[in-house]
Structure 1
Amino acid sequence: MTGLAGCLGGDGDTRTWMIPWGEGGGTDTYARQMQPLAEEELDGSIEIENREGAGSMIGSEWLLDQDDDGSVFGTVNPAGWTFTWRADESLDWHPTDFEPIAYSGIFGYTIIVNNEYEIEDYGELRDAYEDGDISNFAYQGAGSDSHLATLLLQEEYDLNADNIVPYDGGGPVQEAVLGGEVEAGIATNTSAIDAVDSGEASAIVNLMDIDLTDTFPEIDRISEYGDSLGWLTEFYQVQVAPPGTDEDTRQEISEAIQYACEHDDTQEWMDDTGNIVEYGDMAAAEEQYNDAAIEEIESNVDDAIGGFDEFLNLAEDAE
């Protein structure tokens, strides 16, 4: 859904909230829950604009070039966002170019499987690939955090999928699994809820350290099969503004995000779905993608796979 940003300065202002993933994914779902509540606090309209592609880099680059008058802001998902930026050697900008606004929640990755195959846990999924009963596995964007997660599942957790397939976000992965294009794939825990509710798929593996048993009582945990992947598979919903957006303007949007997070409707949505809603102010948002956070990602990738060069080599070999 495309929105045109209006001029600010009075009642009836229109802002554009850019989501760098497709409709139906976790980032999009959070934004659409909070959009009407944030509008109440801002006393103006917010139109969500999905600009998916390249593991969220297309939307990020678009946001980088927008006006700094508060008419446009977006959501990014560190640590996955900073990982994908670091892995793309062609980009000439830095995450810290963006101005922090707030963060509004924490979510991450699960594995969903089409119910036709009657797979209930990671052990059965691994066996189904090994035996040739299934062959395809979906992830969320070439060069992204979920790409590395998939490669680690292959290298360290014996997931011998013949064909790993990139899609632009959790929503498209969900559609591919439900439609039978792929048998299984990485979705966010937020989009996995819709997949399970459809009756056509199950969320069978939690790739995070966050406990999801309230939402998916029977879900397996990848940490039972090897080291934790939480450093790579859980991330924050961070709202950012184009470079140069002044602090007062960002504070106004931050207060609207806080209002939306703490509203009874959102709290009820959190209780009903198990999605984690949490407000963080500008300083807390900035901590998720500052230089120290990026250095931590680099260190973790070094420990997990020998560095970004090795990741890019493995990703190229997998194509």
Structure 2
Amino acid sequence: MNLKRFGYTACVLTPLLLAACGGGNSGSEGASGEGEYSNYPEQDISGVIQWGEGGATDNISRTVAPLVEDELGGSLVMENREGASGATGAQYVYDQPADGYTLLFGAENPNLYQVLGISERDYLKDFKPVSIIGQSYAGIVVNADSEYDSLEDLINYSSENPGELTMGTSGEGGLPHVASSMLQAELDTEFNQVPYNGDGPLATALLGDEIDATVLAVSAAQEYVESGDFKMLAVINDESLDAVPEAPPITEPYPEFEKYLPWGPFQGVFAHKDTPEPIMDKLTTSFEDAQENEEFQETLDNLGVEPMNIHGEEAIEFLEQNQSTSTWMLHDTGETETSPEEFDIPRVEEE
């Protein structure tokens, strides 16, 4: 710092040196632009998980956080801010200074907020993707003591007794809500939907027989299936998964779902849209390197999550594809009055 002041004084007092300093201004400013953020992070970073404890997003976020700390050279303090289908946490992060010290650990829900009228926030307009960690698959689950042993059993009863079965959801735009809309559109079912704050509370509700069924990310349901607490009647995919080989793909009894697939939840990390690029670069590099950890890769594999570890333009393209698929699927099944077109969201085939 003293050398800088000396250089500045010399430039002011000596015309010759002033010319020399002027000749180096462009390079100096570039260096100082980088240097301004060279010590980042200089304080704890807040990691805001938009769902409650115990769900897929919470589990994956808390697993990767200490690995990122090692790469970043700083502390990530994780907290859950659930509510309003994850919009509470998303809005909180958006309202904080765009300085890289508040990150959103989220799932797919903000891609649907606008068409559902939940929130103005949107991944593509309000945030920058630090990393899309992985994409997982959804499973339709019931309590192990349930009388329903197959998806056909559940669907047949629901069709014959509309509104009688309780389907736990994580609110509008959540995974169970979208999946239930798919079932309703294709199979003429009708569930009594009851909202909870994320996968963890949903699992607790199913354990306590508060609900008859729900749809969970395979990563959140797997431990309950393995322990014998839950039965997974089907995975919403066109082929079975190694993580839950006993669960048939939904296309096996109902091939009409093939047109929606591949589709499923994802987990990612996001920063405010105005976060400076040098900070974004450091964050993306740290998250990218952290996810190469072999134990973390094994964790994702065991949870039935397909590792992605993408950022930048690749992550943006993925978000656009996911948003198009999900919003138009909801609109076509009558779940949204507002067309995705009003938000300039094209159909997938029109991209």
Fold shared per TM-score above 0.5: yes
1:257 correspondence with 2:257: no
Partner-residue secondary structure (3-state), 2:181: helix
Higher relative contact order (CA 8 A, sep 6+): 1
Alignment of 1:1-319 (within 5 A): 9=39, 13-78=43-108, 80-88=109-117, 91-95=119-123, 96-129=125-158, 135-144=165-174, 146-161=176-191, 163-209=192-238, 211-224=239-252, 225=254, 226-228=256-258, 230=260, 233-290=263-320, 294-295=323-324, 297-302=326-331, 304-305=332-333, 308-309=336-337
Given that residues 8 and 71 in structure 1 are in contact (C-alpha distance below 8 angstroms), is that contact kept between their aligned partners in structure 2? no
Q: Following TM superposition, by how much is the alpha carbon of 1:14 offset from its aligned partner in structure 2, in angstroms?
A: 1.4
Aligned equivalents of 2:281, 2:207: Cα separation in 1: 41
Unmatched 5+ stretches in structure 1: 1-6, 312-319
Given that residues 109 and 187 in structure 1 are in contact (C-alpha distance below 8 angstroms), is that contact kept between their aligned partners in structure 2? yes
Distance 1:212 1:20, change over 3 A: farther
Given that residues 185 and 333 in structure 2 are in contact (C-alpha distance below 8 angstroms), is that contact kept between their aligned partners in structure 1? no
Distance 1:25 1:118, change over 3 A: same
Given that residues 48 and 79 in structure 2 are in contact (C-alpha distance below 8 angstroms), is that contact kept between their aligned partners in structure 1? yes
Distance 1:166 1:11, change over 3 A: closer
Aligned equivalents of 1:260, 1:167: Cα separation in 2: 31
Aligned equivalents of 1:143, 1:104: Cα separation in 2: 20
Q: Following TM superposition, by how much is the alpha carbon of 1:185 offset from its aligned partner in structure 2, in angstroms?
A: 0.7
Give the aligned residue type for 2:133.
Answer: S
Count of residue pairs the alignment pairs up: 298
Partner-residue secondary structure (3-state), 2:53: coil
Structure 1 vs Structure 2: percent identity of aligned residues? 27
Give the aligned residue type for 2:139.
Answer: T
Aligned equivalents of 1:34, 1:124: Cα separation in 2: 39
Aligned equivalents of 1:208, 1:54: Cα separation in 2: 27
Q: Following TM superposition, by how much is the alpha carbon of 1:91 offset from its aligned partner in structure 2, in angstroms?
A: 3.2
Residue 343 (structure 2) aligns with? none
TM-score by length of 1: 0.82
Unmatched 5+ stretches in structure 2: 1-36, 340-351
1:7-47 CA distance string (max 9 Å, x none) = 99467731111111111111111111111111110111111
Aligned equivalents of 1:93, 1:217: Cα separation in 2: 37
Aligned equivalents of 2:119, 2:131: Cα separation in 1: 24
Aligned equivalents of 2:189, 2:294: Cα separation in 1: 42
Partner-residue secondary structure (3-state), 1:228: helix
Give the aligned residue type for 2:210.
Answer: E
Give the 4+ runs in structure 1 shifted more than 6 A: none
Partner-residue secondary structure (3-state), 1:23: coil
Residue 315 (structure 1) aligns with? none
Whichever of the two has the greater Rg, that structure is 2
Q: Following TM superposition, by how much is the alpha carbon of 1:105 offset from its aligned partner in structure 2, in angstroms?
A: 0.6
